[in-house]
Chain A
Amino acid sequence: MSLSKVKHIILVLSGKGGVGKSSVTTQLALSLSLAGHSVGVLDVDLTGPSMPRMFNIEEAKVTQAPGGWLPVTVHEANAEAGVGELRCMSLGFLLKGRGDAVVWRGPKKTAMVRQFLSDVLWGDLDYLLIDTPPGTSDEHISLAETLLKDARPGQVAGAVVVTTPQAVATADVRKELNFCSKTGIPIIGVIENMAGFVCPNCAECTNIFSKGGGEVMAQEFSVRFLGAVPIDPQFVMLVESGARPVYPAGTMVNGKDISGANASTEQAAETSTRKDAALLADKYRGCSLEPLFNQITRDIVAAIG
C-alpha cells in the first residue's frame, strides 16, 4: 500500500462543519514543514474539498504515474532553510471546473476514499495529515476501516479534534469523540478554533462564539487540550488573496512585537496580493497564529513520540 513509507498518520476530525478543520490542517502542515518534517496532506472531503484553495494550488492537476497518482507539490524541501517538503492530494484536483458538484452516494465515496489511501504515491513522509468532512458517516467509516486493516500498528498516531467554543458546535464534536473511542482511534488532543476575536481598532477581545467550550469538553473526555486559536483576519487574507500578514504597530504575540514598521493593513493588502504558492510557508512565518501552531505542533510531535 502506498502508505507504507509514511511514518505517522494524523486525522483532523470534527463532527461540526465550518469550525476550521481545513485551516487547522493547513497550519499544522505548514508548521510541521517549517520544523523540517516532510508532510503530506490528504483531503477526503469529497463534496467540499478546501485544501486546494487553502494552499493556493487550485489550478494544479494530479499526474498519473506507473502505480498510482502523484500528489501535488505545495513546496519542495529546502535543507538549508530547514523546511520539509509539503505535498497535497484532493478530489479538487480531479475536477474539470471548480464549481462542479460531486454528487455521490456513500458507496462511491467509500471507493474514492479507499483509492486515495491505496493509490497515491506519497513516497517517504514523516507525517500524513488527513483532512475530513464533517460528520460520522461514509468517509469516516471507510477511513477507519481501511486504516485499521492496512496500517502498521502505531502508524495511525491518532486524531486531532477541532471545535469552536459554542455549545452548538461542541454538541456535534462530542459525537466525534465518541466515534473515535468506538472505532479505537486514539485522540491526540482538542484544538479550540475561533476562540475570540481581537478588534484591530481598539484591541478589545470579543468572544464571538462564546468561550472555553473546547477546554471544558477536553476535560470531560479526559483528552489533551492542545490550545485555543483566536480568529485572525490576517490569516484569512493570507489564504484568500496570498497577502503577507501585517499587523498594526504594537501588536504583541507572546511578548514579541510582530508588527511591520509603520505598515498599515491597507498598504499590505495593496502591495502583496500576488499569488505565490511557493512562498506560502514563508508568509505564514509572519502570521500571529504561527507561534501558537508552532507550540501545538511541538506538543503533537512530543505526544506521538
Chain B
Amino acid sequence: MAPSLEEPEPVADVIENPLKSKPQLVAPEPEHCPGPEDPDPDIPLISARLSGIKHKILVLSGKGGVGKSTFTSMLGHAFAMREENNVGIMDTDICGPSIPKMMGVEAETIHVSGTGWSPVWVTDNLGVMSIQFMLPNRDDAVIWRGPKKNGLIKQFLKDVEWGDLDFLLVDTPPGTSDEHLSVNSFLKESGIDGAVMVTTPQEVALLDVRKEIDFCRKAGIKVLGLVENMSGFVCPNCTHKSQIFRATTGGGAALAKEMGIPFLGEVPLDPGLDVHATTARVSLSRSPTVRPVRHSRRLFVAWQNK
C-alpha cells in the first residue's frame, strides 16, 4: 500500500488543541543557536539506510521564492546528465513542495515494498521524494506543526529506498526552523558534504540569507558557495538589460566576500524557464541560465577530488 495522507488529522483538532505543554516565553531571547538536542534513537537506522549515498548536499536560503527548487532541479539534472551518476532529490518543504511540479512528476504516487518506500524516478538515474506524492488531492494544505514535519522528514530519510546514490540533493523550505534543524541532526552522523546558498540581489533577500549562513556556521555545515538568482533581466524585445531586483548593497558577490564563501555565479531571469520547469525537463543546453549550475557542479566535483 502506498503511504498516503488519506485521512489527515482533522484540522479542528490541530486548531483547538494547543500544544500540550504550553510553552512559556517571558522575554525574547535573541541569541539562539541549534543547541545540543537529545540524539534520536533512529539515527543509526538512518545512517544505515543512507550508507550507499556518497554525497549529500543541502540547498538552502533563508528567503522564500529565490529559486531554491529551480536550482535544485537543475543541479539534479546536471549531475544526472552523466549516465554513471545516480542522483536523488529530497524535498523537505512539507507545506509548499515544488520539486514534483518542476520535475514534471506531480501526479505520481509512492510505491511501498517490504524494504521501504520507492522514490519516484524522473529518469533512470534521477529519483525524487516529496510529500506531494502522498496527498490525496493536489491542492490539499498540509497543516502541520513542527513535530509532525520532523516525523515525516525522518521517515523520508529512514524509509526511502534510495539505493546507491552518488548525490542526494536536499531541497529545503525558507527559514531556519524545524526542517533545517531536523535535517541537520538526522544527517549529522552520516555526514553532510555541504550547503549551496541561493539568493536574489536585493538587500531584503540578502538579509535573510545572512541569517541562514549564520545558521550553517552555528550548526557546523560547510557552505559550498552562494548563487545569485534573478540577476537582471534582458528585454526580449530590445535586449536592454534591467536590474529588476537591484543589488544596492553589492548583491550576492559582496555578501559572499563579506562572509568568506565562494561565489558561484549569477543567473539572470529567464521567462522561458518557467515553461520548461513546470511542463517538462529543464533544457540544459540553454546557456546563460545554466552556467552557474554547471559551474557549481564542476566546483563540487573539483572539491570532492581534493
Partner-B contacts on A (CB < 8 A): 15-19, 22, 46-48, 50, 53-54, 91, 94-96, 98-112, 115, 133-138, 140-141, 144-145, 148, 164, 166-169, 171-172, 174-179, 182-183, 197, 199-202, 204, 206-210, 231, 233, 236-237, 239-241
* Nearest CB in chain A: distance from B64 CB, A: 1
> Is B284 an interface residue when CB atoms closer than 8 A count as contact?
no
Given contacts A50-B207, A197-B242, A206-B233, 19 further A-B contacts (CB under 8 A): A94-B30, A96-B31, A98-B207, A100-B31, A102-B32, A102-B211, A110-B23, A112-B25, A134-B64, A135-B96, A168-B101, A199-B237, A201-B235, A204-B237, A206-B236, A233-B242, A233-B245, A236-B202, A241-B248
Partner-A contacts on B (CB < 8 A): 11, 14-16, 18-19, 21, 23-25, 28, 30-34, 62-66, 69, 94-96, 98, 101-102, 138-147, 149, 173-178, 180-181, 200, 202-205, 207-208, 210-215, 218-219, 233, 235-238, 240, 242-246, 248-249, 269, 271, 274-275, 277-278
Report yes or no: A136 in contact with B240, Cβ–Cβ below 8 A: no
Q: Which residues of B contact A134 (CB under 8 A)?
A: 64-65, 95-96, 173-174
Report yes or no: B235 in contact with A167, Cβ–Cβ below 8 A: no
Report yes or no: A107 in contact with B146, Cβ–Cβ below 8 A: yes
Report yes or no: B240 in contact with A240, Cβ–Cβ below 8 A: no
Report yes or no: A115 in contact with B244, Cβ–Cβ below 8 A: no
Report yes or no: B65 in contact with A175, Cβ–Cβ below 8 A: no
Report yes or no: A101 in contact with B25, Cβ–Cβ below 8 A: no
Report yes or no: B238 in contact with A99, Cβ–Cβ below 8 A: no
Report yes or no: A240 in contact with B242, Cβ–Cβ below 8 A: no
Cα–Cα distance between A138 and B15 once the two chains are bound (Å): 10
Closest to B177 in A: A47
Report yes or no: B101 in contact with A91, Cβ–Cβ below 8 A: no
* Nearest CB in chain A: distance from B166 CB, A: 27
Q: Which residues of A contact B143 (CB under 8 A)?
A: 136-137, 140-141, 179, 182-183
Q: Which residues of A contact B208 (CB under 8 A)?
A: 47-48, 50
Contact of B34 (CB < 8 Å), options: A54, A99, A103, A109? A103
Cα–Cα distance between A166 and B238 once the two chains are bound (Å): 24
Closest to B258 in A: A99
Contact of A106 (CB < 8 Å), options: B25, B145, B237? B145
* Nearest CB in chain B: distance from A93 CB, A: 9
Q: Which residues of A contact B141 (CB under 8 A)?
A: 15, 136, 175-176, 178-179, 182
Between A and B, 28 residue pairs with Cβ closer than 8 Å are A18-B64, A18-B66, A50-B204, A96-B31, A98-B210, A99-B211, A101-B33, A101-B212, A102-B32, A103-B219, A104-B176, A107-B23, A109-B146, A111-B23, A134-B65, A134-B174, A138-B177, A141-B15, A145-B16, A166-B274, A179-B143, A183-B11, A197-B233, A199-B237, A201-B238, A204-B235, A209-B271, A236-B245
Q: Which residues of B contact A182 (CB under 8 A)?
A: 11, 141, 143
Q: A175-B142, A183-B15 are in contact. Are A168 and B102 (CB under 8 A)?
A: yes
Q: Which residues of B contact A240 (CB under 8 A)?
A: 202-204, 246, 248-249
Cα–Cα distance between A134 and B95 once the two chains are bound (Å): 8
Q: Choose among B66, B146, B175, B249 the residue with the greatest number of A CB atoms under 10 Å from its CB.
A: B175
Report yes or no: B244 in contact with A236, Cβ–Cβ below 8 A: yes
Of all A-B residue pairs in the complex, the 8 with the closest CB atoms, nearest first, are: A17-B64, A18-B65, A106-B146, A201-B240, A135-B95, A204-B237, A111-B25, A47-B175
* Nearest CB in chain A: distance from B38 CB, A: 13
Closest to A199 in B: B235
Contact of B28 (CB < 8 Å), options: A91, A145, A178? A91
Closest to A48 in B: B208
* Nearest CB in chain A: distance from B29 CB, A: 9
Closest to A96 in B: B30
Q: Which residues of B contact A47 (CB under 8 A)?
A: 62, 174-177, 208, 211
* Nearest CB in chain A: distance from B118 CB, A: 23
Q: A101-B218, A166-B278 are in contact. Are A137 and B242 (CB under 8 A)?
A: no
Contact of B95 (CB < 8 Å), options: A136, A199, A209? A136
* Nearest CB in chain A: distance from B34 CB, A: 5
* Nearest CB in chain A: distance from B180 CB, A: 8
Closest to A135 in B: B95
Report yes or no: A171 in contact with B98, Cβ–Cβ below 8 A: yes
Q: Which residues of A contact B271 (CB under 8 A)?
A: 206-210
Q: Which residues of A contact B219 (CB under 8 A)?
A: 103
Closest to B8 in A: A182
Report yes or no: B145 in contact with A138, Cβ–Cβ below 8 A: yes
* Nearest CB in chain A: distance from B73 CB, A: 10
Report yes or no: A178 in contact with B15, Cβ–Cβ below 8 A: no
Report yes or no: A148 in contact with B15, Cβ–Cβ below 8 A: yes
* Nearest CB in chain B: distance from A141 CB, A: 6
Q: A107-B146, A108-B23, A134-B95 are in contact. Are A144 and B33 (CB under 8 A)?
A: no
Contact of B177 (CB < 8 Å), options: A53, A109, A175? A109
Report yes or no: A209 in contact with B274, Cβ–Cβ below 8 A: yes
Cα–Cα distance between A199 and B213 once the two chains are bound (Å): 34
Q: A50-B207, A54-B204, A178-B140 are in contact. Are A237 and B248 (CB under 8 A)?
A: yes
